Chains A and B, each alone.
Chain A
Amino acid sequence: MAQVSLRRLVKEYEGGVQAVKGIDLEIADHEFVVLVGPSGCGKSTTLRMIAGLEDITGGEISIGGTVVNDIPPRDRDIAMVFQNYALYPHMTVFDNMAFGLVLRKFRKEEIQRRVMEAARILDITQLLDRKPRALSGGQRQRVAMGRAIVRDPKVFLFDEPLSNLDAKLRVQMRTEIKKVVQTVRTTTVYVTHDQVEAMTLADRVVVMNGGIIEQVGPPQELYHRPATRFVAGFIGSPAMNFIPARVEPASGALNLRLPGDILLPIPPERSDRYRSQGGREVLLGIRPEHLTETRQGRATYADLEVVPEVIEPMGMETLVHFHMEGTRDLCARLDPTIPAAPGQPLRLTADLANMHLVDPQSGKVL
């Protein structure tokens, strides 16, 4: 049993910086949870408090039902993988992996067995006699994971483990990590600033911002039902478009008035939800894939005409960048067969069944 609970967890650094402002989080046994958020939002601080590397200012952390606030890292039965791997440079790969077991006075044969097993899982058996300096970044990463696996701890903690790898290797190691964690099924807390990493790895994603938790949920839920403007804009790439708009009642239906006097009808199935917002200024949030080329005969879709500024052909899709009055860069995702050129007006259709309306004051999704 190794669930992890954070209760009203607070971290204040010397000088009064509140890095973590009272967060609550329950992580179930065997669950893979990813903390994601922009740089400086307190992810690492949270993870390091779970590890015991950072003192807790307020609140409580428990691992496997035991409050660990005052327990040193070595007695918490956790393993951690650092961004720069933190391998011991003077030890061989084997010794690096065995170190934790040696300190815990495991028998020689048992150490041998566990290290060989982990090396087999990670495919680093032929590297066991090398020193870390003779390894590539990806291999060091594997050794760092091996060091965690051999311990068979209650919880794995990862702090941006892929950030030092090049893009291609990062994607490969991401899959690798998922595979390994699925094999050993250890409760895992994983920190990253990369939302793609978060979405692909997590059972549940925790989106943090400015020391608080914005939203917790499975990847699909965060993507389709973001709770706040921050989550809506953070999850998904290219990011969601935000356009200032006003909800206008019109004879039983609702319309959205966009800058440039564009009037879009809100689909009937959404009308009830937004009825109370009649006459208010809101932000229309819509993902690039829901702004597509205009085709005939689609009822819930509304048209708008834009002038593309930059065209980015990606192969299986084409990204079109444009802007409207009072907005930043907006993006639409088109079928690559659609002819589009910078400066040539283009008709786009907004799939309003997949829109989000955001209260500009509170930042909450309505």
Chain B
Amino acid sequence: MASDATIARNAPTVAPRAAPPTTLQKMARRRSTVAFLLTLPLLGVIGGLVAWPAAYAIYLSTLNRRMTAFIGLENYAILLDNDTFRMVIWQSCFFAITAVILKALIGFWLAHMLHHIPTKGQRIWRGMLLVPWVIPPALSTLGWWWMFEPSYSSINWLLSVFSVPPVPWLGEKWWARISVIIVNVWYGAPFFMIMYLAALKSVPDQLYEAADIDGATGWQRLRYVTLPMMRNIISITVLFSLIVTFANYDIVRVLTNGGPRDLTHVFASYAFQVGVLSGNIPRGAAVSLFMFPLLAVIAYFVLRGINQRTKEIGA
């Protein structure tokens, strides 16, 4: 063990200046060999489940429809030229951003409410509010579909009690988009709630007392104490949820199946439609690969944010 440690410490000076070593070489040298070997199984899993499929998808996307000839980037060019696909890009962004903002706001509000309930009552409320997140989304979305579906819509029935005319939840493009977002928010807000509740609990009470004495009102405490103290967790959850929501598939697939007239499709559901249902697998692969640069940018910000703030708080 001791010799391993020595190797690790000396590594930077040993590195040859002329030929820059590959990342793998650097890694193998920087960490001890034993540690490297120990991570091999994990690297194997990641390689098999992530790297290989990704590489294969890239390869697929460069083939023609029958997968018999290499056509370069033509699939991408065709997609970018296609109105429906440009709408899918727009709708994916609109869906992900709106849903994440709403999830974060509602999650924060719920967390705040829970935080101020005495501890005894808190558990049961917390449990109940977590239920949407625990039900498999495909199932709960089916439930929502029943509530939205025009012939049986319980929501419309409720509205009619207050003499509000029936709403074409899934039949009109904006209502359909809103419906998809509602279900996603309903499903995802509890995750934010639980993260923010934990974050709220970790803010020392004395900071609020100090702020009270310094003259802060309720809003000012939120603005100058709570939010700055939660900045880290807020940005991580938002960016993380942005990734997951962006790649969402099941809700759109079950609730609207992309309709009406393909106007609620997001990347994943459209990729499925093009690749599997219409049988153009290379183009479907190209659709889903469009997500990659967007997700990569978000992931970059997530990781950078975590690094920076961890240093700042000095945890």
Contacts and interface: CB of A to CB of B under 8 A. Distances in A.
Interface string A73-106: 1100011101010111111000000011001100
Contacts of A103: 214-216, 220
B117 to A, nearest CB: 15
B313 A74 contact: no
A53 interface: yes
Contacts of B224: 88, 99
Interface in B180-232: 204, 206-207, 209-217, 220, 224-225, 228-229, 231
A99 B231 contact: no
A87 B212 CA distance: 13
Contacts of A133: 313-314
A234 B215 CA distance: 37
A90 B231 contact: yes
A319 B204 CA distance: 44
Interface string A45-76: 00000011100000000000000000011100
B139 to A, nearest CB: 42
B213 A78 contact: yes
A80 B216 contact: no
A210 to B, nearest CB: 25
B312 interface: yes
Contact of A86 (B204, B217, B314): B204
A341 to B, nearest CB: 51
B207 A88 contact: yes
A79 B206 contact: no
Interface SS of chain B = helix
A131 interface: yes
A74 B215 contact: yes
The range of chain B's interface size is: 20 to 34
A84 B206 contact: yes
Nearest to B231: A90
A134 to B, nearest CB: 8
B220 A51 contact: no
A151 B217 CA distance: 17
A356 interface: no
Given A99-B224, A131-B312, A86 B212 contact: no
A103 B221 CA distance: 11
A130 B220 CA distance: 23
B220 A90 contact: no
Contacts of A89: 229, 313
Contacts of B214: 74, 99-100, 103, 147, 151
B120 to A, nearest CB: 11
Given A74-B215, A74-B217, 11 more contacts: A52-B212, A53-B209, A78-B213, A79-B213, A82-B210, A84-B206, A86-B209, A88-B210, A88-B224, A90-B231, A100-B214
Interface of A: 51-53, 72-74, 78-80, 82, 84, 86-91, 99-100, 103-104, 131, 133-134, 147, 151
Closest 3 CB pairs of A and B: A100-B214, A86-B206, A133-B314
